Structure 1
Amino acid sequence: MSLGQFATVGPGVIYGRLRPVFQGIGWGMAILSWLVGLYYQVIIAWVLVYLYVIITGQSYMWSSCRNDFNTQYCKSILEDRRCEDELNKVGAFYFNKTCYSPTDSIAHQSMNNTFNFLSAISPAEEFFEYV
């Protein structure tokens, strides 16, 4: 930057004036600066998207398994607690978009069979992957 400021030219030109072979270094620096700027703009865009989602009150979407985009592999302790509150039974669990009683052995067996082959996915992972 000092050389360019002293000569009042850009990086591609100043390195070309010093040694014509080095002109590519200056252009490479300019392109790299442009790519870093683009990268940071993408980061800021994602921050703005998530800030909008939080401000508009839609942040429940990445903490809940009750959305349209959630699969049967969605598992959340928060959903299990909601089911316990809804059914007023300790040990109630959430599976495949439904609350089940802890005594429902068929649903419990189905959930165990499902999660034996594939591991459970958090609602946040599904939100950020599918939305």
Structure 2
Amino acid sequence: MSATPVRVAFMCVQNAGRSQMSTAFAERERADRGLETEVEILTGGTHPAAHVHEEVVEIMVEEGFDLQDRTPREITTEELASCDYVATMGCSTLELDPAAGVDVRDWALADPDGQDVERVREIRDEIVANVHALFDEIEEELQ
């Protein structure tokens, strides 16, 4: 295993919905797999909102997460360029130099802001599957 952690970023525009859900599930996945020292998780947005969307906070409680106190933050191109993987949520204007060697994936997820609870749950379930698959790849890489 490498001494340098694998850096993974989850980013979108507001960092108030999809990327916050992705980060929460990634933190759980990292803990469940015992990869706390091997994987570093970043999150942020290009134009962060003031708070996490209420509908996201509401449906994440169902999964045992309290996102009420999480604050959307700005993420810089430099931070993203230092990552091994960057997952964008379908709303990114991200332009990283291909020479940076970052594996950028656009998960093309619908925006949960203003959606009904059932739709937000569907988005959440897509995120769970995407995060799980990404961690399968990371775990394979680390072996």
State the TM-score, normalizing by the size of structure 1.
0.28
Greater share of helix residues, 1 or 2? 1
Q: Which has the higher contact order (CA 8 A, sep 6+)?
A: 2
Relative to the length of structure 2, the TM-score reads 0.26
More strand by share: 2
Larger Rg: 1
